[in-house]
Amino acid sequence: MSKARQMERAADRRPEAATDDRPVIVALGDSLTAGFGVDPEQNYPARLQRKLDEGGYRYRVVNMGVSGDTSAQGLNRLAAARELRPAVVIVALGANDGLRGLPLDATRDNLEAILRALKEDGCKVVLAGMEIPPNYGPEYTRDFRALFPELARRYRAALIPFLLEGVGGRPELNQEDGIHPTGQGYRIITENVWRILQPLLDRNP
């Protein structure tokens, strides 16, 4: 088991998590969710928790981001997310599929399986749209981008049009690899998520 997965499981076993009765918001994703390369308090789930607390929303955010995960690996971890009986799940997967040029049909099938299971559980779902650089070819790039709104419509999930809107392609908001956001970049990403998530929340869940 990787160190990241061990830490993820250990976090879910913390005494405070076991006794916290607030409804759970799961952030299921890859390195963009995990917060690769930034302080743990700077990633978007951590910033989202602070926004919830400051706004008087009684929810607990669980960061289930694992760096490098594809949609298939996210699907494999879905059972752990469902065990938390979340009120809301933010699904931010697929970026690594696109960057590796994986077949779109496989990505679609994996994301569909995730969305279908979550909808069957009766929880609210937010799907984060992803985009990839144009050097993967115009057809693949276009079809990849279109995949997320298509699935959001089909499964009636709330859609973040593009998770990295306002951040992607801006060197000053990304780390040296040009892919992973800085702490300042995560401020913007948190607002991208919040605009879609906030209308789904109850003041007194």
Q: What amino acid positions are annotated as catalytic residues?
A: 31, 177, 180
Distance CA 74, CA 82 (A): 12
For 37, residues 6+ apart whose C-beta sits below 8 A from its C-beta are 175, 177, 180
Whether the CA torsion 167, 197, 127, 5 is positive or negative: it is positive
104-124 burial, b if ≥16 CB within 10 A, otherwise e? beebbebbeebbebbeeeebb
Rg, C-alpha atoms of the chain: 16
User: Phi then psi for 22, rounded to 5 degrees?
Assistant: -70, 145
Kindly report the length of the chain: 205
**What one-character DSSP code corresponds to residue 66?**
-
Distance CA 57, CA 55 (A): 6
Q: Helices then strands (H, E): number in the chain?
A: 10, 5
Helix 138-155 / helix 104-121 crossing angle, nearest 10 deg: 20
